[in-house]
């Protein structure tokens, strides 16, 4: 299939117009929230939203070095946007376990994409014991009339596979030097494995590009699964990004409240399920993060929940005042959230209500900000 990925008939709309049909407006015009996040009136927002197109269950997006873009669909589709705005369905995508939160997940270009055409994908797969996340790599081939993945091979799998279909995590990020692939691995709603170094559930792992455990990992001497682990005690880390200084950051869904933005440190334990700034669903209490408890506290947290589904750290020219800031897509919060990063510290800044579940936030080569929503929209933010 090839279609045009240009502006829809709606063309360009202001944020105020986009929000006109939203039913919940209680926080939209408030100058500030009790948690310190600024919420700006619609007419004062510094961007305009362009509706680009609609896709089937878009989940993740990446711009390629040559200006093309890839978008995954939760149900298993992969779409290539060509440099002229055309759309092509990509063949050769792996079979996915499309159930609950599972399906086709993240997509990133390899550091050597310009010479090899290699891309990495993550997805939920079925197997003995249930399901789990997998990561694979393949060569993207585009002959101008069709596109396909060639030579797809699995390089990493969550261990063990378990029942259920939640909290896969499976976000991908390469280190700035291109030598290491980081994968966020959710605890699959099983809680306790997040503290077990013999399981890859509830971890962020550090791998070589071929998927093997990287040398120098903090628990390498324990062998097996532990040799992959970079950090642990995570719940459902659905965002993963490096800043310009090489710090790794992760956005993580908490339970009932307690969503987190974490600076990911080598060997650190982020506490789940022993501590959290939120509570269990149904009202069960969890001890809050506290100084001296032995766990790494988040740099920012949200209670009530915003349900962060993605993370991007901005370095573009379209919005120069935001360079170095983190952007989170909020699912239950139906918003785009900006966090001011200052070295290894973070402070909540803006929360722009969009009236849609924001699944993905991505920066284009020209510095515009692109959003994917669970309602299927592809949106572009340009400076007002």
Q: Which domain, by its residues, includes 299? A: 54-354
Catalytic (active-site) positions: 167
19: Cβ contacts below 8 Å, ≥ 6 apart:
25, 28, 42, 353, 354, 355
Which residue from 167, 70, 80, 155 is spatially nearest to 109, judged by alpha carbons? 70
Query: CB–CB of 104/73 below 8 Å?
Result: yes
- In total, how many domains does the chain have? 1
Q: What is the DSSP string of 304-343?
A: S---EEEEEE---SSSGGGTT-EEEEETTTTEEEEEEEET
Tokens of 242: 């490096």
In whole angstroms, give the CA distance from residue 38 to residue 333. 14
Average pLDDT of the residues in 335-342: 98
pLDDT above 70: percentage of residues in the chain? 89
Residue 26: band (very low, low, confident or very high) from pLDDT cuts 50, 70, 90: very low
Query: Is the pLDDT at 28 greater than 50, yes or no?
Result: no
* Residue 40 domain-assigned (yes or no): no
Write down the pLDDT at residue 144.
86
Query: Is the pLDDT at 29 greater than 70, yes or no?
Result: no
Query: CB–CB of 176/243 below 8 Å?
Result: no
Average pLDDT of the residues in 224-244: 98
pLDDT tens-digit map of 87-128: 999 999 999 999 999 999 999 999 999 999 999 999 999 999
Burial class (CB in 10 A: 0-12, 13-18, 19+), 286: buried
Write down the pLDDT at residue 283.
83
The mean predicted confidence, pLDDT, of the chain is 91
Query: Is the pLDDT at 27 greater than 80, yes or no?
Result: no
Sign of CA pseudo-dihedral 276, 199, 97, 80: positive
Query: Is the pLDDT at 375 greater than 70, yes or no?
Result: yes
Residue 9: band (very low, low, confident or very high) from pLDDT cuts 50, 70, 90: very low
Query: Is the pLDDT at 40 greater than 90, yes or no?
Result: no
CATH code: domain of residue 144: 2.120.10.30
Query: Is the pLDDT at 38 greater than 60, yes or no?
Result: no
In whole angstroms, give the CA distance from residue 201 to residue 236. 10
Residue 133: band (very low, low, confident or very high) from pLDDT cuts 50, 70, 90: very high
Write down the pLDDT at residue 44.
79
In whole angstroms, give the CA distance from residue 345 to residue 263. 8
Locus of tokens 């259920």: 164
Question: Strand, helix or coil at 381?
Answer: strand
Average pLDDT of the residues in 236-246: 98
């Amino acid at each position: 299939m090839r279609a045009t990925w240009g502006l829809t008939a709606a063309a360009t709309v202001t944020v105020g117009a986009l929000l006109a049909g939203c039913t919940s407006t209680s926080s939209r015009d408030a100058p500030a929230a009790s948690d310190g996040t600024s919420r700006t009136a619609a007419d004062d927002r510094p961007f305009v939203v362009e509706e680009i197109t609609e896709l089937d269950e878009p989940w993740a997006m990446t711009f390629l070095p040559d200006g093309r873009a890839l978008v995954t669909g939760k149900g298993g589709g992969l779409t290539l946007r060509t440099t002229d705005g055309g759309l092509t369905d990509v063949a050769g995508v792996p079979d996915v376990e499309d159930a609950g939160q599972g399906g086709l997940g993240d997509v990133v270009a390899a550091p050597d994409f310009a010479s090899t055409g290699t891309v990495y994908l993550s997805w939920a797969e079925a197997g003995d014991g249930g399901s789990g996340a997998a990561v694979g790599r393949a060569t993207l081939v585009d002959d101008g009339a069709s596109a396909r993945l060639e030579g797809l091979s699995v390089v990493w799998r969550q261990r063990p596979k378990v029942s259920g279909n939640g909290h896969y995590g499976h976000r991908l990020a390469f280190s700035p030097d291109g030598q290491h692939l980081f994968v966020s691995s959710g605890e699959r709603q099983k809680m306790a494995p997040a503290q077990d170094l013999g399981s890859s559930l509830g971890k962020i792992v550090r791998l070589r590009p071929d998927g093997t455990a990287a040398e120098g990992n903090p628990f390498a001497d324990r062998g097996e699964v532990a040799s992959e682990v970079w950090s642990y005690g995570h719940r459902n880390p659905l965002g993963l990004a490096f800043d310009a200084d090489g710090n790794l950051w992760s956005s993580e869904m908490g339970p009932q409240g307690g969503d987190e933005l974490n600076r990911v440190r080598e060997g650190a334990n982020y506490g789940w399920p022993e501590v959290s700034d939120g509570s269990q669903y149904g009202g069960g209490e969890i001890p809050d993060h506290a100084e001296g408890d032995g766990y790494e506290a988040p740099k920012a947290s949200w209670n009530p929940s915003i349900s962060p589904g993605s993370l991007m750290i901005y370095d573009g020219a379209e919005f120069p005042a935001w360079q170095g800031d983190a952007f989170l897509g909020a699912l239950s919060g139906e918003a785009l959230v900006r966090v001011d990063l200052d070295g290894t510290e973070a402070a909540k800044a803006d929360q722009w209500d969009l009236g849609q579940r924001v699944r993905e936030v991505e920066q284009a080569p020209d510095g515009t900000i692109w959003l994917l929503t669970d309602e299927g929209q592809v949106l572009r933010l340009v400076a007002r």
